[in-house]
C-alpha cells in the first residue's frame, strides 16, 4: 500500500476541490441565551451551556450540557434510527425514534433555504460567510458558515442539510428566547464507535409517539 493511500485511509477528512470533507471528528459549540426577561427565568440557566457534536461516518452524537442537566441525541443516517437521552433532576429518559419519527421531528427544516449576504468574519480560525436561512413557516435566522469545511454526514443536523459548508455560528429564536451557538473547538481525531451505541438499560424508555402525547398533556 502506498503512503498516500495509507494517509487517506487514516485521516478523518479528505480534501475535494479546495473543501475539506469532514467524515470524522468533534465539534464544540458554546451557547449563550437572551431571554428578554428582567427577572431571571429557567431559560437563563441554559446560558453558558455547551453542545458537542461527534461525527463518524453515518453516525452522529450531539450532547448539550448545562446546569439544568444533559440532553443527548444519537442518530444513524443509514438506518434512520435515533434516540434522545434526557437526564434532568435525577430522571433518565430515553426516547426512541424510527426514520419516520426523525423526519417528522425535523419536518420544519426540510425546505429550508439559504441566501448569502456578502458579510464575512473569522470564527475559530476559519473564514466564514454569512447567510440568512428561510424556513417554510416564514421564520428566518442568520448563520455564519465555513465553505472550506463540509460534513460528510449532512443529516447530523437537518437544520443545515442544505448549507454549503459547516455551520460555525448561528442564532435561533424560540418564543422570547434567542439561542446563539458559536463554534469554539474542532478536532479531527478519531471518535470511538461506542460513542454511538444506543443504551440498553438505565433509562425509562418511551417511544416518540408516547413522548408527543405526553407533551400535549402538559
- pLDDT mean over 102-130: 93
Tell me the domains of the chain and their CATH numbers.
Answer: 13-213 (2.50.20.10)
User: What does the block give as the cell for 171?
Assistant: 442564532
pLDDT of 192 strictly over 60: yes
Q: Which of 23-27, 63-67, 83-87, 91-95 has the lowest mean pLDDT?
A: 63-67
Pairing mode of beta strands 177-187, 149-151: unpaired
Is the four-CA dihedral 164, 165, 166, 170 of positive or negative sign?
negative
Does residue 207 or residue 40 have the better pLDDT? 207
- Structure confidence at residue 67 as a pLDDT band (50, 70, 90): confident
**Whole-number pLDDT of residue 4:** 41
CA–CA separation, 188 vs 55, rounded Å?
Answer: 10
pLDDT confidence bin for 134, thresholds 50/70/90: very high
Angle subtended at Cα 63 by Cα 138 and Cα 104, rounded to the nearest 5 degrees: 40
What's CA 160's distance to the chain center, in Å?
Answer: 9
pLDDT greater than 50 at residue 17: yes
Q: What mean pLDDT comes out for the span 60-66?
A: 95
Helical segments of 46-189, H only: 99-105
- Under the banding of pLDDT at 50, 70 and 90, the label for residue 89 is confident
Structure confidence at residue 3 (pLDDT): 38
Mean pLDDT, the chain, whole residue set: 86
Q: How confident is the model at residue 5 (pLDDT cuts 50, 70, 90)?
A: very low
What is the Cα–Cα distance from 20 to 48, expressed in whole angstroms?
Answer: 30
Question: Above pLDDT 70, what percent of the chain?
Answer: 85
**Interval 142-189: pLDDT, tens:** 999 999 999 999 999 999 999 999 999 999 887 778 889 999 999 999
Which among 32, 18, 67 has a CA at the least distance from the CA of 184? 32
What is the distance between the alpha carbons of residues 150 and 154, in angstroms, rounded to a whole number? 8
42 vs 200, higher pLDDT: 200
Q: Say if residues 202 and 92 touch (Cβ distance below 8 Å).
A: yes
Which residue in 195, 135, 120 sits closest to 165, CA to CA? 120
Is 27 a residue whose pLDDT tops 90? Answer: yes
pTM reported for the whole predicted model:
0.85
Could you give the C-alpha distances from 119 to 122, 127, 169, in angstroms and in order? 11, 11, 13
Q: Which of 2-16, 81-95, 159-173 has the lowest mean pLDDT?
A: 2-16
Amino acid at each position: 500500500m502506498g503512503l498516500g493511500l495509507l494517509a487517506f485511509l487514516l485521516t478523518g477528512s479528505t480534501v475535494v476541490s479546495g473543501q475539506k470533507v469532514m467524515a470524522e471528528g468533534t465539534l464544540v459549540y458554546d451557547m449563550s441565551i437572551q431571554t428578554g426577561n428582567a427577572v431571571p427565568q429557567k431559560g437563563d440557566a441554559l446560558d453558558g451551556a455547551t453542545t458537542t457534536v461527534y461525527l463518524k461516518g453515518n453516525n452522529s452524537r450531539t450532547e448539550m450540557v448545562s446546569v439544568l442537566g444533559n440532553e443527548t441525541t444519537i442518530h444513524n443516517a443509514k438506518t434512520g434510527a435515533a434516540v434522545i437521552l434526557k437526564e434532568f433532576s435525577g430522571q433518565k429518559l430515553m426516547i426512541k425514534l424510527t426514520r419516520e419519527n426523525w423526519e417528522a421531528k425535523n419536518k420544519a427544516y426540510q425546505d429550508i433555504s439559504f441566501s448569502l449576504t456578502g458579510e464575512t468574519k473569522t470564527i475559530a480560525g476559519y473564514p466564514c460567510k454569512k447567510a440568512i436561512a428561510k424556513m417554510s413557516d416564514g421564520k428566518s435566522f442568520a448563520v455564519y458558515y465555513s465553505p472550506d469545511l463540509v460534513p460528510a454526514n449532512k443529516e447530523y443536523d437537518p437544520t443545515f442539510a442544505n448549507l454549503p459548508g459547516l455551520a460555525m455560528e448561528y442564532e435561533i429564536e424560540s418564543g422570547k428566547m434567542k439561542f446563539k451557538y458559536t463554534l469554539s473547538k474542532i478536532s479531527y481525531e478519531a471518535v470511538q464507535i461506542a460513542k454511538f451505541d444506543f443504551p440498553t438499560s438505565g433509562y425509562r424508555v418511551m417511544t416518540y409517539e408516547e413522548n408527543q402525547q405526553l407533551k400535549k398533556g402538559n
